[in-house]
Amino acid sequence: MKALIIIDMQNDFVPGGALAVKEGDIIVSLINKLQEKFDLVVATQDWHPRDHSSFAVNHAGKNEFETITFEGHSQVLWPVHCVQNSEGAEFHPKLQTSRIEAIFRKGTNQNIDSYSAFYDNAHLKSTGLSGYLKEKGISQLYFCGLAAEYCVYFSIMDALKDGFKATLIEDATRALSHPDFLEAKQQILKAGGHIINSDELS
């Protein structure tokens, strides 16, 4: 059985939002159309406390998009985004949510970022998504949403590590940086993942 995993289709990641991905909004209608092709649809939400350690403003003297070492891990410092219960953290208003059976929230721990839908960036804590999908007999995962080379990419890599077949639907994602996305796609293929366009879905 196959599941569609919709990553972080939230207001802050689309044009006008705090951490906007170029063209992030134009994939919403495609993601809506794709949902009916899957046995299960699941979504994630980036869901940070205001004092989150991934926000540049919470590190004196540091700038947005700078990379620092924090608690032993490399961390890109982001603009304040997806603060819990804020409008920026809401799903895009046009995202169809009636078939989304479960929403997994991540990035809630102040001291560690969590790009992947499955684990935090230090792989210390699970979100429970892997067990949830396995319990439902799902073995094939298809990924869409934002941002392609961050939360979508790290989710795919963790899915492969946890033994799922993982496929990126390339026309249903957008990246912050094109060169970084090219590198991410190579890593996905190297790790045994697949990359398709939505017209290849049966």
Using the rule CB under 5 A, which residue among 46, 120, 149, 158 binds Zn ion? Answer: 46
Among 55, 78, 143, 181, binds ligand VGL (CB under 6 A): 78
Tell me if 104 contacts ligand VGL by CB under 6 A.
Answer: no
Known catalytic membership, residue 151: yes
| Tokens read off for 83 | 């603060």
184 binds ligand VGL (CB under 6 A): no
Other CB atoms within 10 A of residue 177 CB: 15
Residue 94 is among the residues annotated as catalytic for this protein:
no
How many CB atoms within 10 Å of residue 125? 13
CA nearest neighbour of 171 among 138, 201, 191, 202: 201
When binding is defined by CB under 6 A, the residue of 95, 146, 159, 166 that contacts ligand VGL is: 146
With CB under 6 A as the contact rule, the residue among 11, 43, 46, 88 that binds ligand VGL is 46
The residue assigned the tokens 């007999």 is 137
104 contact choice in ligand VGL, Zn ion, none (CB below 5 to 8 Å, kind-dependent): none
Paired tokens of 76: 């890109």
Pick the closer one to ligand VGL by CB: 69 or 202: 69
Q: 3-class SS at 194?
A: strand
**Beta-carbon count within 10 A of 202 CB:** 3
Q: By CB under 6 A, how many residues form the interface with ligand VGL?
A: 9
Q: Are 141 and 168 in contact (CB under 8 A)?
A: no
The contact set with ligand VGL (CB under 6 A) reads 8, 13, 46, 78, 115, 146-147, 150-151
Residues known to be catalytic = 8, 106, 151
Q: Which residues are near Zn ion by CB under 5 A?
A: 46, 107
